[in-house]
Structure 1
Amino acid sequence: MGEGCTTETQFVVQCLRAGIHDSSLETTDFESVDWDGVLDGATRHTVSPLVYEALQDVTDQAESALETGPGCKTGQTTETTMEAPQVPTEVLETFRERSQFVARRNLRLLGAVANLSSTLQSEGIRAIPYRGPVIASHLYGDVGCREFRDVDVLVAREDIPAIKSILEGLGFEPVYLDDSVTELTPTQEWAYRRVEREYTFYRERDDLEVELHWRVLSRHFPTEFDLECLWDRRSTTTVAGTEVPVFSPEDRLLACCIHGSRHRWERLHWSYDVAVALENQPVDWDAILERAQRHDCRRLFLLGLAVTDWLYDVSVPDRVRRQIATDQTLEGLLAAVEDRLFTDRPYREFEERRFQARTLDRTRDRVAFWANWLFKPNRSDVEAIALPRPLAPLYGVVRPVRIATGALCNGVRTSDHPQAEGR
């Protein structure tokens, strides 16, 4: 695998492969494994329950072999069965405790999804919960298998004021990038909804975070993947006894690929979502390829498939593999993913933006991407300065000034997006 991929991270990937293909771990030499490294890797990539499942399967098989070795009566052992691979008890216990914690938290968040969806439906507000809780329940079939820490809901931008009022009535408060900001002015609220794609709310009493999205991707990308184009294709699932709208299988797979590609596939659980979708549900490939083309996210989608196939050897049609092979840019993008996947080295924001620009299909989209990033304000620009409504267009001037100042003060940062959006 890529630079920086240790034996322990390869072991984590082996565990995930075993889960995808419903097989046992290939590794039998557990004595040489650095278990602290495995624990760190599973935690970093938020896949601890999946690794625990693979390790528990090995342990169960070893115990079964010890009890009933080939050709032996129950209770007898042989030299062969005594050599069955063993996972240290303390390692299994650590993973078990982590998995139980994840399951308890996920059940609480699923309840929040059901309650919020029911509340919004009763108010006549369209909303589709997606990512974390819904993927765990609808795609994995086991709420304890998928780690997530918040609730993401796709809504219409014009409904944000009404939903904000509902959430505040439920005890939530807005979360801002600038800790010194406690409230936005009406002009900032107006500008915020036009330059951003999400609004975060937090409720302290139960440590619950809800993110309202009115676009799946930021406006820097040409992809118009919003509620209007997804609502008529939605399906439903039952969450905590409540009928909840969800993405169609094709839209879910497309959204998973878009999200992971935007973040350079820096967390294994994103690619595992794609692998589970490919292996556990039928895919209308004609429909999804047409949508990827229509929504200007073909390369984002194909990159997601390429990364997932590289890691897990999943089922991808030959015609799709040919499209991946003939896109020369994808080869470089995949190499960049391999280079970053298993390392935490700091990198410049420009490096991240350059990668994102290369995922776009057309030259004009890449030019627009850079122009938007350089000159159009974002949420931090809006939070930084409270302008009166007549001067709101000047937020476009604030942006390049703040970029120049930031570049002079600190051009290097640690990759924090995956942790901020590690669902």
Structure 2
Amino acid sequence: DPGLRGFTDVDIWTREGDLGKAQDILRENGFSPLDGHPLLFHRGGVWVDLHSDLVGTGRVRSRGFGVKLDHDAVWNDARPLMMEGYEVLSLSAVDRLLFLCLHAFKHSFWRLIWTVDIAETVRKHRIDWDALIRRARDFGLERPVYYGLLCAKELLGAPVPEEALLLLSVRRGYVERKLSDLAISGLGTDGLSEALYLFSIPKVSQKLRFLWEVVFLRPEVRPQVDPKGGPLFYPRRLFRAGKLALEMARRAT
């Protein structure tokens, strides 16, 4: 029963050109956008989050470095699904698994339910592993998929073929292995995904730009993360980065 799966909002993916239409439909049905977050709508206790980019470059533009996401290909492979008498489009099994891995990765695996989503998708669907690996390579998402599958396999015993992990060809150095151990141990730490994501970015200049944008958010983005605008926002972010570094150092000894 999908209703048993708890969630805080409903994510709806739409084409970039249809965002305005989607916003109008929500307003016509009594939803209001959250201040500082024009794509997050609410009506009472119901929240709807609109997306046009599945990677999340709207908040951190440099997250797109190294990613070659083809939204049209994902749309073309979407499957019709009946929901409450309405036909809607849903991601194919391969794309669903890929983006569940990306979602958990982006949020540092700090909620176990996101890893459960990955494990249950593997268990309940016949995954075309060759297609998944091709998709991950084509989109430049080998690491998010690798870590999502690895966590599901190690933490929850998901039947992920070892060959699939090997074919993703993620070569981890010492530092990356220590970082990934935090996720695999179930100790998702704030900032972990950004640290791991650095290994997917090809150029040093791009890595530095990514780090800068993650720490010092653009003015139009900060209200989404820090709606009160408190003076301790950046000290807290630096403190969390230091906490992650200390945890890595502790595990290295």
What per-residue deviation string (whole Å, max 9, x for no partner) do you get for residues 245-285 of structure 1?
A: 10000000000001111111111111111111111111111
Q: Which residue of 2 aligns with 1:63?
A: none
* Consecutive unaligned residues in structure 1, runs of 5 or more: 1-141, 179-188, 190-198, 386-401, 415-423
CA 1:338–1:377 in 2, change beyond 3 Å: closer, same or farther? Answer: closer
The CA distance in 1 between the partners of 2:50 and 2:70, in whole Å, is: 12
Once the 2 structures are TM-superposed, how far is the Cα of residue 338 of structure 1 from its aligned partner? Answer: 4.1
Q: Which residue of 2 aligns with 1:213?
A: 51
Give the counterpart of 2:7 among 127, 137, 148.
148
SS in 2 for 1:212: strand
Is the Cα contact below 8 Å between 1:156 and 1:214 reproduced in 2?
yes
Q: Which residue of 2 aligns with 1:411?
A: 238
Supply the AA of the counterpart residue of 1:336.
Answer: L
Give the counterpart of 2:77 among 233, 237, 240.
233
* Higher helix proportion (structure 1 or 2): 1
1:171 aligns with 2:30: yes
Is the Cα contact below 8 Å between 1:214 and 1:226 reproduced in 2?
no
What per-residue deviation string (whole Å, max 9, x for no partner) do you get for residues 142-162 of structure 1?
A: 123311121111112222222
Once the 2 structures are TM-superposed, how far is the Cα of residue 294 of structure 1 from its aligned partner? Answer: 0.6
Structural mapping, 1:240-389, within 5 Å? 240-323=84-167, 327-329=171-173, 331-338=177-184, 341-342=186-187, 353-358=194-199, 360=200, 362-364=201-203, 367-374=205-212, 381-382=219-220
Q: Aligned pair count?
A: 227
Once the 2 structures are TM-superposed, how far is the Cα of residue 409 of structure 1 from its aligned partner? Answer: 7.7
Percent of aligned positions that are identical: 22
Is the Cα contact below 8 Å between 2:102 and 2:144 reproduced in 1?
yes
Supply the AA of the counterpart residue of 1:299.
Answer: R
Once the 2 structures are TM-superposed, how far is the Cα of residue 355 of structure 1 from its aligned partner? Answer: 3.3
Q: Which residue of 1 aligns with 2:41?
A: 201
Supply the AA of the counterpart residue of 2:196.
Answer: F
The root-mean-square deviation of aligned C-alpha atoms, in Å, is 3.3
CA 1:226–1:172 in 2, change beyond 3 Å: closer, same or farther? Answer: farther
What per-residue deviation string (whole Å, max 9, x for no partner) do you get for residues 344-392 of structure 1?
A: 8xx6x5x65323323x2x422x64254145259998612679xxxxxxx
SS in 2 for 1:244: strand
The CA distance in 1 between the partners of 2:207 and 2:154, in whole Å, is: 28
What per-residue deviation string (whole Å, max 9, x for no partner) do you get for residues 273-315 of structure 1?
A: 1111111111111111011001000111011111111012221
Is the Cα contact below 8 Å between 1:153 and 1:212 reproduced in 2?
yes
Larger CA deviation: 290-299 vs 156-165: 156-165
Supply the AA of the counterpart residue of 1:217.
Answer: V
SS in 1 for 2:63: coil
Supply the AA of the counterpart residue of 2:25.
Answer: I
Larger CA deviation: 376-385 vs 282-291: 376-385
Is the Cα contact below 8 Å between 2:11 and 2:49 reproduced in 1?
yes
* Consecutive unaligned residues in structure 2, runs of 5 or more: 224-228, 242-253
Is the Cα contact below 8 Å between 2:109 and 2:188 reproduced in 1?
no
The CA distance in 1 between the partners of 2:144 and 2:90, in whole Å, is: 21
The CA distance in 2 between the partners of 1:368 and 1:150, in whole Å, is: 32
Once the 2 structures are TM-superposed, how far is the Cα of residue 227 of structure 1 from its aligned partner? Answer: 4.0
What per-residue deviation string (whole Å, max 9, x for no partner) do you get for residues 314-365 of structure 1?
A: 21223224347862246334212146x3478xx6x5x65323323x2x422x
SS in 2 for 1:311: helix
